[in-house]
Structures are given as structure tokens and as C-alpha cells.
């Protein structure tokens, strides 16, 4: 797939007016453990600057990422170097880290905290993030988290709201509530996992925009079967390792790398508006661009399909 489609070409996110590229950069680990004034903080700011001026139109963060450091570091980089034209930040509201509260009031506070750390007046897209500690009925109540998000959208404080989480059994109810403009799913739609297809289909049926995060599933699809690795934050089971070995054989036969195939699996999907990849170093950005430009033959994808649907290893 050419880079004009993946990196440079802007398109619209679902029914929103948000413009984005096929690749979105993730910041979940940005600034983790970095103390103010430390060398680690300076390295993190340099990484954030590279992302803010990089090829992807959207940077994805969250109130809770790196204990708030992700947003804080982005804020420092924004003050020092600004942001390239056509780029924007999106963030997520999270439960109170001390009490676990996740109602309307917490949503409003979480958004205020994020804006203060980032040093911006607003973001166009705000996600409800990992609502695992509350019941769906409570989240949808008049004083619930979703009411807070709707209030922000109706007031113009944000343009669109999304649901961002992993567990299909949880996320599906939020998607089917018709309350959200955007879905962000992770680890559930990859070269070796398809359990998330039901979410993508439900979102598309409603005209929602779709972010697909973690196309490598952790380290497994980035490093390969020999390294063992993790998938969806857990050690990869034997059946998954065997599936990856078979995919590696196909990749070798077609002269491509497993990580390239994993990335392009998501990039090429018509059900995905943008693929979110976490960035840990500036050189990673150029590596992703390179992988997006590799010509993967159609015969490879046909042979992947001939392997059959991969066994699901994510317990949802």
C-alpha cells in the first residue's frame, strides 16, 4: 500500500468531521517513570516532539497513560515546539485513580485534568476509556459517565465522543447503545485474532469511525515466534505460537517480514479508519512508514485466508 494512502492522505473519521491518516501514533508509555527535570523526561519530550511533527495526523493519549505523564510530556513538547499543521491530539477520560469513581462528575474532572496537562483549550475527540469498574447500566444512567460525555459534546467542548476499550463483551454494549461516534478497539483484530470483527461490523453499521490499536498484539507479531513474546499482555499460548510460525513461513516465501504483514493487515482493512501503534523511540516512526510502503503481494493475503480463521486466544 503506498504511503500516500497510509500517511499523507487524509480522510474522514466515520460520520465526524475529523480528518486523519491511516496511521495514528499512540503514547501509552510516553514519560513512564520520568521525573520532572530528569534525563528521562528530556528524552520523552524529544520523542513527543517527533510525534507532534511526524507524518500521522492524530496522536492518541489518555488521562491515565503513564500515570498522567503521557499528557504532561505532550504538554511540555507542545509549549516548546508546537504542533505541525493538520495534526491533533485525542485523549480519553478515565476513572478516578484513587476512588474508582467513573460517573458524570468524574468525566468532567478527567477532561479538565487532561486539558490542563496538555495546555490546550479542547480536543476534538474524547473517549470513554476502559469502563470495566462500573456496570453498563450505571454508565448509561442520567448521572453516569456517558451522560458526562454527551454533555461535553452537546456544549461544543468536544466534537465527538468514543468508546475505547478491549473486552468485546463490554465494548459491544456501548457500541450498540448508539451513544458514540467512534470506536477504539485493541488486540482484538490482528493477523492472528479476529474476535473484534463483531465490534468493527457493529460500528460500521452505525456510521461510527474506527481506530484499531495494537496491530502487533504486544511483542509477538513484532518479534516473531522464536522470541516467544506476549499477546494482549499475556504469554502467548502454544497454539498461537504455532500459528505465528506458519505465518512466518508464508512471509519468508513472499520476501516480507512478519511485522510488516501485521501492520498492513490492519492498514488495508476497509473496516478500519486508522491503526494506532504505540511509539517508544523516534526511529520507530520511520520504521512504520517504511513498513507501510512495502508491496505485499495479493497472493500472500490469499494464502493467509487459506489458513482459515485463527483460533481466538483472547478471553473476553
Mean pLDDT, residues 164-179 taken together: 97
Judge residue 119's burial from the number of C-beta atoms within 10 Å of its C-beta, 0-12 exposed, 13-18 middle, 19 or more buried: middle
3-306 in CATH: which number?
A: 3.20.20.100
In 165-231, the DSSP E strands lie at: 182-186, 209-213, 230-231
Contact 54, 27 (CB under 8 A): no
Q: What is the pTM of this model?
A: 0.95
**Integer Cα distance of 94 and 107 in angstroms:** 7
E strand intervals along the chain: 11-12, 19-20, 23-26, 58-60, 88-93, 125-129, 160-164, 182-186, 209-213, 230-231, 234-235, 274-278
Percent of the chain with pLDDT strictly greater than 70: 97
- What pLDDT score was predicted for residue 8? 56
Cα torsion angle, 50, 54, 57, 60, sign: negative
Tell me the pLDDT band of 18, cut-offs 50, 70 and 90.
very high
Query: Residue 49 pLDDT > 90, yes or no?
Result: yes
Mean local confidence (pLDDT), 182-194: 97
pLDDT digits (tens, 9 = 90+) for 55-76: 999 999 999 999 999 999 999 9
Instruction: Using pLDDT thresholds of 50, 70 and 90, give the confidence band for residue 316.
Output: confident
Q: Where do the domains of the chain lie?
A: 3-306
Query: In the prediction, which pLDDT does 3 show?
Result: 38
Amino acid at each position: 500500500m503506498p504511503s500516500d494512502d497510509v500517511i499523507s492522505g487524509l480522510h474522514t473519521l466515520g460520520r465526524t468531521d475529523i480528518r486523519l491518516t491511516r496511521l495514528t501514533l499512540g503514547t501509552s508509555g510516553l514519560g513512564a517513570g520520568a521525573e520532572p527535570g530528569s534525563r528521562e523526561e528530556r528524552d520523552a519530550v524529544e520523542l513527543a516532539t517527533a510525534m507532534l511533527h511526524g507524518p500521522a495526523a492524530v496522536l492518541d493519549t489518555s488521562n491515565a497513560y503513564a500515570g498522567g505523564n503521557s499528557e504532561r510530556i505532550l504538554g511540555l513538547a507542545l509549549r516548546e515546539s508546537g504542533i505541525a499543521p493538520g495534526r491533533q491530539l485525542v485523549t480519553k477520560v478515565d476513572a478516578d485513580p484513587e476512588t474508582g469513581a467513573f460517573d458524570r462528575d468524574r468525566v468532567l474532572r478527567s477532561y479538565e485534568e487532561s486539558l490542563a496537562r496538555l495546555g490546550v483549550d479542547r480536543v476534538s475527540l474524547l473517549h470513554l476509556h476502559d469502563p470495566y469498574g462500573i456496570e453498563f447500566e450505571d454508565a448509561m444512567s442520567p448521572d453516569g459517565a456517558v451522560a458526562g460525555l454527551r454533555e461535553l459534546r452537546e456544549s461544543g467542548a468536544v466534537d465527538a465522543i468514543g468508546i475505547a476499550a478491549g473486552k468485546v463483551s463490554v465494548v459491544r454494549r456501548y457500541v450498540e447503545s448508539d451513544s458514540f461516534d467512534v470506536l477504539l478497539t485493541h488486540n482484538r483484530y490482528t493477523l492472528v485474532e479476529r474476535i473484534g470483527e463483531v465490534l468493527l461490523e457493529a460500528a460500521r453499521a452505525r456510521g461510527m469511525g474506527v481506530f484499531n490499536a495494537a496491530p502487533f498484539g504486544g511483542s509477538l507479531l513484532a518479534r516473531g515466534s522464536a522470541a516467544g513474546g506476549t499477546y494482549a499482555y499475556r504469554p502467548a499460548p502454544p497454539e498461537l505460537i504455532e500459528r505465528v510460525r506458519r505465518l512466518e513461513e508464508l512471509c519468508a516465501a513472499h520476501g516480507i517480514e512478519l511485522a510488516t504483514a501485521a501492520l498492513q493487515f490492519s492498514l488495508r482493512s476497509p473496516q478500519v479508519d486508522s491503526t494506532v501503534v504505540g511509539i517508544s523511540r523516534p526511529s520507530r516512526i520511520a520504521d512504520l512508514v517504511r513498513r507501510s510502503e512495502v508491496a505485499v503481494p495479493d497472493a500472500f493475503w490469499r494464502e493467509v485466508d487459506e489458513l482459515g480463521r485463527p483460533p481466538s486466544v483472547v478471553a473476553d
